[in-house]
Amino acid sequence: MQFRTSGPEKSWFVFVISVLLFSALLSGCSSRAQVVPTPVPENLGLDIPVLIGTTRARDSDGLWSPTKRDILNFARIDVSVPPVRRPGQIKLPGKTTAPSTDFLTRQVVYFDGKPSFRSAIRQRLREPGQAGREVIVTVHGFNNTMGDGVYRTAQMMRDLSITGVVVHYSWPSIGDPLGYAADRDSVLIARDGLEQLFVELRKAGAQRIVVVAHSMGSQLTMETLRQMAIRGNDDVLSHINGVVLMSPDLDVALFRSQAEAIGKLPQPFIIFVSKRDPVLALSARLTGQPNRLGNTQQIEDVAGLEVTIIDLSDASDAESAHSAALSSPSVLKVLEQATTSVRRALQTDPTGRTGIFPGSVLVAQEATAVILAPVSVIGRSIN
């Protein structure tokens, strides 16, 4: 059987097929994690506390709604990271739980408003090893439940050996692969909540705020920074000392416009891209905007902006090219070793800022691109 279409019918046919592929692809690669407290044996795996700021509303059962919005509220979710897993892997329980291999929620603690949350942040910042008073804020992407973002944050903390203060900002994505348009609207609504979270962190004493955003969360991050610049929220904006965008689902022209409104971009400013990212390829088709920042292959696209592009196209051991920076064991190993060095290098030595990454370097005006070496080469460089 052959299907032949032309003109407007062909365009509509291609659009429908794209939507179906988009749904199938994201359903296959996106987990449905739930933050339901589960009994976990003591001394099994590693317990990681993830602090939460969210504009999701809570339902009558105390859990967060996938669709209802609320004012910014706060919690702490203690995640049990299992001992049997490879770096980058997140395994969820099936009909039964296996604490030795599954990510599980040990407990959920709710904070009674902003003062209680600020007190918890202050206490964490006073702990030994927190001399820099730095807070890392993670921002999830499209089609994520509360649990998806929390577990990915815990996985990142474990695999990158992050012992500092980490706060996850959960905006009300509806967690549905067919909810792309709804999530794009939610991103715009979520800007005020993310800005308020930054304000609360500064009030709690944070001196350095580093933002790590994935996919559509990158658009939320850029929109929030732009909004802060326009509003003149300079005290908080000046304490954002680093931004990492992973597979940003963001039009290149829009990114440039946002960057121009922000002015001086936080440094370091790192963007992970991959030409093999199928999610961004389908996003480009759905939006009619072919130039997505997360799959750009032309450093000229960001020329004149003080950013560093890290090309992960050859990270073939990732569970998905759309999450290569956090699911590829080889890339995670490089990032773990580079976490401290890259921040110092990018701030103090622009000419040598990419030397810690194995790969080729391209420069265009203020922008720098690193084409990360293939996995086999990365493996040799870290052994």
User: What are the tens digits of pLDDT across the range 141-193?
Assistant: 999 999 999 999 999 999 888 888 999 999 999 988 888 899 999 999 999 99
More confident residue, 235 or 22: 235
Give the three-state DSSP class for 30.
Answer: coil
Q: What is the pTM of this model?
A: 0.82
Strand pairing partners for 372? 359
For the chain, what percent of residues have pLDDT higher than 70?
73
Q: Domain limits of the chain?
A: 7-382
Strand pairing partners for 360? 371
The number of residues making up the chain comes to 383
Average pLDDT across the chain, whole number:
79
C-alpha distance from residue 136 to each of 165, 176, 380 (Å): 6, 27, 30
Please give the class, per CATH, of domain 7-382: alpha beta
313-351 confidence digits (pLDDT tens)? 766 544 554 555 555 665 666 666 555 554 454 445 443
Instruction: Find, among 258, 143, 139, the residue nearest to 197 by Cα.
Output: 139
Cα 12 from Cα 16, distance rounded (Å): 6
| Residue 63 CA to its chain's centroid (Å) | 22
For the chain, what percent of residues have pLDDT higher than 90?
47
